[in-house]
Amino acid sequence: MSLIKSISGIRGTIGGKKDDGLTPIDIVRFVSAYAVWVKRGKSHARVVVGRDARVSGPMVESIVVGTLCGMGIDVVNIGLATTPTTELAVVGENADGGIILTASHNPQQWNALKLLNSDGEFLSAAEGNDVLTMAAKEDFDYAEVDNLGRVETKDYTNYHIDKVLSLKLVDVEAIKAANFNVVIDCINSVGGVALPPLLERLGVKNVTFLNSEPTGVFAHTPEPIPQNLTQISEYVASHKADVGFVVDPDVDRLAIINEDGSMFNEEYTIVSIADYVLSHTPGNTVSNLSSSRALRDVTQNRGGSYTAAAVGEVNVVTAMKNTNAIIGGEGNGGVIYPECHYGRDALVGIALFLSHLAHSKMSCKELRATYPNYCISKNRIDLNPSTDVDAILKAVEKRFANEKVTTIDGVKIDFADSWVHLRKSNTEPIIRIYAEAHSESEADQLANKIKNIIKEL
């Protein structure tokens, strides 16, 4: 069993003993601590709760809602909702915070509490640490009967879609005229709730939804990476679709499939959409240290400035605000477009990409070929309790002291035509080793070189 407390929230496998999984006791403890943080001396507070379709979702939801009410906080329960929908609902309700119940790309035995502030954005590292400190103390003062919180149920899906369609660069008429044939894999979660009405309102008449029933029993491993996407790849190619889209269980990541079933490449989701946005509204961009250099190249070609942030959505958002970036995101298919909101949003990504594809008059594969070509090799090393991660990172940093080294998040070494980034994952007990070069073999060689160095330590 696993319980991980990080900048990405409280994430764990369901079941087991306290502190060794995401048990009911752990849920109560962390939600109670968050409630204290939200109230911060206020006499009244409201929190939005939304969840993905995981099998454990109803159980976790009932405990979260009950705990918030027990702390005297009113709850707006929006039920099955994407992560970006919940983020927007916090602002729409003028609420004091929000909790998203989702373990994102993790398998179905996982769930998580993702904590939001009153802006519908993830807590900062300092704010998250405050919550964790309060949770460790377990010193909570629950409300008496006359002061219990109340629950209101709402649906925010259409509100979210309205926001997406109101974006100036979402061209519904162009999308309609293109008459696209689209396939979407909803991975048996809330994509099946939000994406059918989105595509309908975008004017896409020829659309096939795979795994659309939100049962939480995922048809395949839910992370939208190539090895998990064989079903949709084969379907797109065999049914002569123009494009395929794949989301993760909470619909904040977007992968794109070319018309021949090949991968557009998840790194190029943000690259292509940013290029479209920059072509109409020049400005700056941000992605994280583990994302492709292609965004930097595209940004500079459009006259803007690119910044690399530490991994983690909150870090990217902070850097975007500091640099007045007009678009940003992460190479895992996460698109952050502040004109809608400061959060990764696959609905925004789909609408902007279809607008881009319609304007380009190209096929998906032809559009992909217009961008600088890089290949990323994504690797991992599993950790055990005795692994000294800091010592490993320090040794690698010392080994490459003559290169450009960045240490704001693990260790990243930039070479002239390639880079490698080592960091401890926020969401899993592993070290991630990402390497990028102009060819797959070069990227693999660089990653293997680093892995061999670690083995020698």
d(CA 250, CA 269): 17
Mean pLDDT (whole number) for 10-35: 95
Check pLDDT > 80 for residue 226: yes
Check pLDDT > 90 for residue 4: no
pLDDT in tens, 373-421: 999 998 998 877 778 888 999 999 999 999 999 999 999 999 999 999 9
**Structure token digits, residue 254:** 């977007």
Q: Which residues pair with 259 in a beta bridge?
A: none
pLDDT in tens, 96-132: 999 999 999 999 999 999 999 999 999 999 999 999 9
Q: What is the pLDDT of residue 1?
A: 63
Mean of the per-residue pLDDT values for the chain?
Answer: 95
Q: What is the pLDDT of residue 384?
A: 78
C-alpha 207, offset from chain centre: 24
pLDDT in tens, 324-352: 999 999 999 999 999 999 999 999 999 99
Q: What is the pLDDT of residue 425?
A: 76
Q: What is the pLDDT of residue 79?
A: 98
Active site residues: 104
d(CA 217, CA 109): 10
Has this prediction a pTM greater than 0.75? yes
Check pLDDT > 90 for residue 147: yes
Check pLDDT > 70 for residue 7: no
pLDDT in tens, 294-323: 999 999 999 999 999 999 899 999 999 999
CB atoms within 10 A of CB 134: 19
Q: What is the pLDDT of residue 455?
A: 83
Distances (CA, A) of 338 to 138, 163, 164, 325, 342: 37, 12, 11, 8, 5
